[in-house]
Structures are given as structure tokens and as C-alpha cells.
């Protein structure tokens, strides 16, 4: 039997090498997609450029990064520029899509403001955006012509420090000024803080707005004051604050820029090198470096004789120049065992006065004497290092003698005890009833009955006498009021109010005459009246007034304060205080306004 050949072909089973139409279509589609993605990736490029090359030292320039595709703004990591040695300023991103003759063009841009703080060649490395890399770029930084650059710069920063040779933990004032030319239309900006490794840096007050003329050009100047306190010895560099902002260009917003009608700018000032000396080996005690330290005290009430049990308030004020307020030590008094003390929490603050950092700590304690006698309170001292004379000094409050006498209430109120007994008995009725019942049960106790029979008539006589006296006074006063009339009462009231207002109002002529007469008490009263009207914070003592005035007036007020507690009060010169007061009063009236748009710190 012969089998047909066609039948053999038809019945032959399929092998694994044979593919269905679906499988062939799937593989073909995948290949096409892969080719398309490869073409797209091959055409995506990243290019970098700068707006000028070479650039001058301390002059900002713009690095532009452009990708010819629509990419996520976060695709570029700014940290790739951290190893270039350049100061990195503000960064703006933008994207755009255009359709021209049916062709789609997409663009993503990054604009980064950079600044070089030294001359040389700086290499911008190959920057990675997603999986695409740009080509490296070299920027040349050249020295600027100092004279021409100073006159042509529209924005620049200058730093000035009081001194560069310091002691450990000595505070120094750093003044940073931002100069803006008249042509600058500042839209916004921020000024960073200076940096010094291992140091305490603090800004004082708000930014001040002023003007300076440089080479015939009036610049707007924004001034900021810092205090710098190094915490380790050696040679260091204070890195200048950097300004980053935007200025108006007067042009229309560019579709490729996120700044829109503005221009990004960056400016950095001069760095400052300082030398910090360690604590001298011969110094003893807690370390407190300062140009000047003053220690004062005030007593409330101000007297040398106090009654036993009378609360006394003693306030210590420690004042130091160019010291951080946290460095000021607590001041406490030393007292005999017969005194009880109740210290209050101290308060400290610092301010900029007369080109110096003035720090103050106020410590208050309540004192109560428990024994009668004359006591000498030991001197109170604070060790400090004089950075001017380079030797150790001591701020001292001299020893003070005070006399404690018996309480006047115990003597003067003794005859009034019987008159107050009814009130006391009514407030403790149960206790008194118990005592009375016990007395009556004991027939042998005649003392209690005798006292009751004696004191009871006297007690009621006293009450009757007091009532009659009060009634007589009321009748006489009523008749006197009718005879004088209501007008006299109103006149007396107006007179009292007028005198009260006169006593509480500062009078400059009174202060002047009191200074000429060396009347320390009157000068003190007038200064406190002036401080009440001059300053917003409450000023109740001369020591609280000291940090609010300039250095010359501070010294005169301290001398005035000391004269009230020493035996040499005649050595105080009121005319010197008056001259210092006039100088401060005239300068405070000419203070410039600080009304400006604040910079972000």
C-alpha cells in the first residue's frame, strides 16, 4: 500500500522552531520601540556655558545648563558644583515647548549664579542630568583693577572688625555693609551670616539703612552688626557673609528665564584673619576678658539701719564691654548666719552702644535679718582680665556695715494690744472659749479672773473713747467742709494733681542745676524721670539705665552711683555728668531712620 506524500506533510506535528503570527508581531513591535527610544536618547544633549569668560575676582557670573528635552527640574543635582571652589548662589529653572512646522522642540534650562573668591582657573566638571553628561568647562578668574572696579561695581560687600588680635572668648564687633549703587533696583535678596569654625556669632539689632559717598557716587548702605566670640586659640579666618539677590533689569520677562525682568546677583566681601591668644598662665579665677568691667549695687530701701525681720532688696549689676552676656558670672553677696537670703533669677542681655558690645547681668536677692546688732557684710568681688592693659583686675563692691534694730511695731503697738484683742478673739473664738472654760474649772487659779476683771473695763473704755473721737472728728470736718465750700476742695485737688505732675515730669533745667550743685540725690531722681520718658523699657534704677546710654554717660552714671555708697561723695563732679548727658541727648535726637525693606538673614 502506498501512502500519498501530501498526506504525510499534513499530518506531521509542529516543532518548537515554528512561530505564530502573534509572536512575530510582538517581537517586531518591541524592536521598533527599542529603536525609537535609542534614537530619542541619542538626540538628547546637555550643554553648559557661562555668560562671560574670563571673569573678575569677587564678581558673580551665570552658569547656564541647557538640555534639549523636557526634564524634571530636580534631575540636576547642585552638589556636583560643590567641589569647584566657587561660591554657589541662586539657581533658577525654566522649561519651554515649541512646535515649528510640525516639529516639537523641548528645552529645559538651569541658571546658576557663581562667584570666585580668588584668581586662577576653575573647572566645571562634566555634569550629569539623568543619565546624560555634559562636557567639562574651564573658567578663568583674573584680578580686578581695584580703582576702576570699586567705582564700577554696582553691588559689593565690605567687612570691618574692631581688632584682629584677641584673647580666648573675647568678644569683638564685626560690621558688615552692603553697598548698592543708585542705578540698582533691588527686588529682593538675602545676606548670609559670617562663619568661623568653633566660634559663637550673634547678630545685634536690626539692619540699618544709610548712605555713603564713594568717589563721587552716593551709595545706599545696609549695615548689619555681629559679635564674634572665638572659643579656641590659634589663627583663624572669618568667612565673609554672601549676598544673593535679584535686581531689576527694565527688560521684559524672558520665556527662558525664571527670574523674569530681573537679574540674579551675588556678592561676597573680604575675609578677615584673626589671631586668638590663650588664657595667660598667671591668671587666676573664672576667665572674663573685657575692656572694662563695672560692678555696682543698690539697696531698697537705701539706708544703713534696718529693723529685724524687715525685707531688704539688694541688687547687683555687673557691666562689661566686649563680652558675651552668657560669660558674665552670677554675683551673690556674703552674709553672716543671722541673715536669711532669697536669691531671684538673674537677667542678662547685651546691646551695641558707642561702637562696643555692652553686656549686663542683674542679680537680685532679698535679705532678712534675724538678730539685732551691727554687722559688716564682706566685700563682693569679680575677677576679670583687662584686654587693654593685659593684666588681671578685680571689680569690687566694698564691705558695708549695717545696723539691725528691734522692730518698731513690737514697741509702738504694745499699748494697742488690748484694743485689738476683740478682733483677734473673734477670729479664734473656739480657742479662746476652750481657755476660758479651763480657767473657770480651776478654783485655785485667781490670776486669770483677776486679769479678766481688770482688762475688760479698760478694753471697753478704749473702744468707747475711739468711737467718740471719730464722731467728733467727723462733725468738725463736716462743718469745715460746709464753711469752705466745694470750690476750695476742687482747688486743693487740682493743686495736688499739679504738684504730682510736676514731680513726675523730667525737667532739663533742674537736672542741669542739680549737676552744677553736685546734688547727687536730685540728679538721680531727674535721670530716672528722663529715662522713663526716653525709653520704652521700664528703668527703675541707675544700674538699669547704664546699658541704654553711650560709654561717656555710662562712666558718669557709675561714678554717681558709687558716690551714694562711699564716704567720698564730694569727689563726684556733677558738671562732667551734665556734659556727657548733653552729648548723648543731642546725638540720640539725630539718629537716622531704619525704615527699609528687611533683608532675609
pLDDT (tens digit per residue) in 186-204: 888 889 999 998 899 999 9
| Parallel/antiparallel/unpaired status of strands 55-56 and 137-142 | parallel
pLDDT at 247 over 90: no
Grid cell for residue 498 = 499739679
State pTM to two decimals. Answer: 0.56
Q: Which top CATH class is 43-142? A: mainly beta
Q: For residues 176 and 157, what is the distance between their CA atoms, to the nearest angstrom?
A: 7
pLDDT of residue 21: 66
- For the chain, give percent helix, strand, coil, nearest 5: 30, 35, 30
Mean pLDDT of the residues in the chain: 76
> What letter would DSSP give residue 600?
B
pLDDT of residue 277: 95
Higher pLDDT, 304 or 465: 304
CATH no. of 146-277 = 2.60.40.10
Compute the average pLDDT of residues 367-393: 94
In this prediction, what percent of the chain has a pLDDT beyond 70?
70
Q: List the one residue out of 284, 334, 342 whose CA is nearest residue 311.
A: 342
pLDDT of residue 567: 46
pLDDT at 165 over 90: yes
Compute the average pLDDT of residues 118-139: 88
CA atoms within 13 A on the CB side of 483: 6
Higher pLDDT, 441 or 353: 353
Q: For residues 226 and 155, what is the distance between their CA atoms, to the nearest angstrom?
A: 21
pLDDT of residue 264: 83
CB atoms within 10 A of CB 144: 17
Q: Detail the DSSP E strand segments found in 387-454.
A: 391-397, 400-405
pLDDT at 143 over 60: yes
Q: How far is CA 302 from CA 145, 406, 537, in A?
A: 66, 18, 23
Q: For residues 340 and 344, what is the distance between their CA atoms, to the nearest angstrom?
A: 13
CB atoms within 10 A of CB 453: 9
Q: List the one residue out of 482, 297, 336, 306 whose CA is nearest residue 406.
A: 306
Fold of 289-409: Immunoglobulin-like (2.60.40)
Whether 103 contacts 123, CB under 8 Å: no
Whether 562 contacts 296, CB under 8 Å: yes
Domain ranges in the chain with CATH number 2.60.40.10: 146-277
pLDDT at 326 over 70: yes
Grid cell for residue 96 = 519651554
pLDDT at 87 over 70: yes
Amino acid at each position: 500500500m502506498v501512502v500519498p506524500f501530501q498526506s504525510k506533510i499534513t499530518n506531521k506535528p509542529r516543532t518548537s522552531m515554528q512561530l505564530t503570527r502573534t509572536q512575530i508581531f510582538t517581537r517586531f513591535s518591541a524592536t521598533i520601540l527599542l529603536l525609537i527610544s535609542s534614537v530619542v536618547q541619542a538626540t538628547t544633549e546637555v550643554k553648559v556655558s557661562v555668560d562671560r569668560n574670563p571673569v573678575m575676582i569677587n564678581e558673580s557670573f551665570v552658569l547656564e545648563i541647557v538640555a534639549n528635552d523636557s526634564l524634571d527640574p530636580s534631575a540636576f543635582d547642585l552638589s556636583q558644583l560643590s567641589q569647584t571652589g566657587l561660591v554657589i548662589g541662586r539657581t533658577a529653572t525654566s522649561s519651554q515647548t515649541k512646535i515649528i512646522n510640525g516639529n516639537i522642540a523641548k528645552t529645559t534650562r538651569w541658571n546658576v549664579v557663581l562667584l570666585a573668591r580668588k584668581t586662577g582657573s576653575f573647572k566645571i566638571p562634566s555634569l550629569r542630568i539623568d543619565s546624560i553628561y555634559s562636557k567639562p568647562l574651564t573658567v578663568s578668574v583674573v584680578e580686578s583693577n581695584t580703582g576702576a572696579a570699586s567705582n564700577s561695581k554696582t553691588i559689593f560687600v565690605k567687612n570691618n572688625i574692631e581688632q584682629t588680635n584677641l584673647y580666648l572668648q573675647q568678644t569683638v564687633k564685626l560690621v558688615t555693609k552692603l553697598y548698592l549703587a543708585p542705578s540698582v533696583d533691588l527686588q529682593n535678596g538675602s545676606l548670609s551670616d559670617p562663619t568661623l569654625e568653633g566660634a559663637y556669632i550673634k547678630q545685634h539689632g536690626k539692619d540699618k539703612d544709610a548712605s555713603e559717598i564713594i568717589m563721587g557716587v552716593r551709595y545706599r548702605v545696609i549695615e548689619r552688626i555681629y559679635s564674634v566670640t572665638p572659643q579656641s586659640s590659634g589663627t583663624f579666618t572669618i568667612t565673609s557673609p554672601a549676598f544673593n539677590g535679584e535686581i531689576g533689569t527694565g527688560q521684559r520677562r524672558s520665556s527662558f528665564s525664571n527670574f523674569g525682568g530681573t537679574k540674579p546677583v551675588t556678592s561676597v566681601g573680604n575675609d578677615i584673619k584673626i589671631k586668638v591668644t590663650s588664657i595667660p598662665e598667671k591668671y587666676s579665677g573664672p576667665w572674663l576678658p573685657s575692656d572694662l568691667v563695672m560692678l555696682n549695687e543698690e539697696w531698697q530701701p537705701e539706708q544703713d539701719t534696718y529693723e529685724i525681720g524687715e525685707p531688704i532688696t539688694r541688687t547687683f549689676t555687673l557691666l562689661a564691654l566686649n563680652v558675651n552676656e552668657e560669660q558674665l558670672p552670677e554675683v551673690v553677696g556674703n552674709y553672716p548666719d543671722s541673715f536669711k537670703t532669697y536669691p531671684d533669677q538673674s537677667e542678662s542681655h547685651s546691646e551695641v552702644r558707642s561702637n562696643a558690645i555692652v553686656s549686663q547681668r542683674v542679680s537680685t536677692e532679698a535679705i532678712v535679718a534675724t538678730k539685732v546688732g551691727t554687722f559688716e557684710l564682706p566685700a563682693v568681688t569679680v575677677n576679670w582680665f583687662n584686654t587693654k592693659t593685659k593684666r588681671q583686675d578685680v571689680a569690687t563692691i566694698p564691705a558695708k556695715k549695717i545696723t539691725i534694730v528691734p522692730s518698731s511695731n513690737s514697741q509702738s503697738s504694745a499699748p494697742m494690744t488690748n484694743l485689738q484683742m476683740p478682733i483677734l478673739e473673734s477670729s479664734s473664738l473656739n480657742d479662746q472659749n476652750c481657755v476660758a472654760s479651763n480657767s473657770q474649772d480651776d478654783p485655785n487659779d485667781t490670776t486669770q479672773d483677776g486679769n479678766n476683771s481688770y482688762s475688760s473695763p479698760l478694753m471697753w473704755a478704749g473702744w468707747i473713747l475711739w468711737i467718740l473721737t471719730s464722731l467728733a472728728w467727723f462733725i468738725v470736718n463736716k462743718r469745715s467742709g460746709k464753711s469752705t465750700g466745694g470750690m476750695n476742695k476742687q482747688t486743693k485737688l487740682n493743686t495736688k494733681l499739679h504738684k504730682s505732675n510736676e514731680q513726675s515730669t523730667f525737667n532739663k533745667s533742674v537736672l542741669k542745676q542739680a549737676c552744677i550743685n553736685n546734688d547727687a540725690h536730685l540728679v538721680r531722681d531727674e535721670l530716672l524721670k528722663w529715662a522713663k520718658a526716653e525709653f520704652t523699657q521700664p528703668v527703675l534704677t541707675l544700674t538699669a539705665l547704664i546699658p541704654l546710654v553711650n560709654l561717656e554717660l555710662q562712666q558718669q552714671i557709675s561714678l554717681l552711683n558709687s558716690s551714694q555708697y562711699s564716704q567720698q561723695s564730694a569727689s563726684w563732679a556733677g558738671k562732667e555728668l551734665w556734659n556727657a548727658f548733653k552729648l548723648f541727648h543731642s546725638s540720640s535726637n539725630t539718629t537716622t531712620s531704619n525704615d527699609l525693606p528687611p533683608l532675609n538673614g
